[in-house]
Amino acid sequence: MEEAVADKAVGSESRGSQPDGTKESRARVQRAPAPIRNQVASYLRDAIAEGVLQPGQSIIERQISEETTASRGSVREAVRQLEAEGLLVAKQGRGTFVASLSVGEACQLYEVRSVLEGLAGWLFALKASDEELGKLEDIVERLSGLIDDPAELLLAKNDFYEVLFTGTGNRELHRLIETLHVRVTLVRATSLSRPGRPVESVTELQAIVAALRAHEPARAARLLVEHIRNAAVAAVGEDAASTMRTPVLTEPDQ
């Protein structure tokens, strides 16, 4: 994800901590050309993805302003942006909180994600360049060194998906999946926090890349669908995930 950037001169990136000192996130920010509100919004997305901001936790604009050195106005605009994305929710008279997904909502997201990412794998296997395939292989190799740090693994997996989606050559699919991933952020960290899941996840990605390298679109699509279902099981449990309907693309390889 992007770094948040403040509208004041600041030092190099460092890690800040929550008031209870239990966990840290990238808080210090640097100048960049993108609008300040967008980069503060990216900082908040990172904090949610890393589990620093938990579902149901209150968002205190003054605290976010101090952590990012952004103005209160920029923070307020970023908060409104994340409300529109469904990551934050405003409760009248009570303030703004990190959104929570019900088990049913999470399963619905994973169902849609499995179809879109299965299609992405199919298209990538047919269209991607050798350079893009090489990038995926390099990323998966890097991921194998992060299995003991689920938060960093989660952030690094974003690089994998960015290359995968770009390699489809389908901008509309890319845009749809990016929008979906914003909401999936609320449960992805939970999935990778399950003991053993980081190793399983990387192993699954290695198999996916092997299918892509072999230019086998149906196998790549099937493995991506299975990868998403396994992530759902880790996030919501086997019983809940069993209610999902995740079609596998079965058209013969071309």
Domain boundaries, the chain: 15-98, 103-241
89 with 109: CB under 8 angstroms? no
CATH number for the domain running over 103-241 = 1.20.120.530
CA–CA dist 93, 24 (Å, integer): 29
Burial 153-189 (b: 16+ CB within 10 A, else e): bbbbbbebbebbbbbbebeebbebbeebbebbbbbbb
Q: Which two tokens stand for residue 77?
A: 């605009």
pLDDT computed for residue 248 by the predictor: 66
Angle at 33 between CA 42 and CA 51, to 5 degrees: 15
Radius of gyration of the chain (CA): 19
CATH number for the domain running over 15-98 = 1.10.10.10
pLDDT computed for residue 7 by the predictor: 38
- Per run of 10 residues, the mean pLDDT along the chain (length 254 residues) is 36 40 50 74 84 89 93 94 92 92 91 94 96 96 90 85 95 90 78 85 96 96 94 91 75 44
pTM of the model: 0.74
pLDDT computed for residue 136 by the predictor: 95
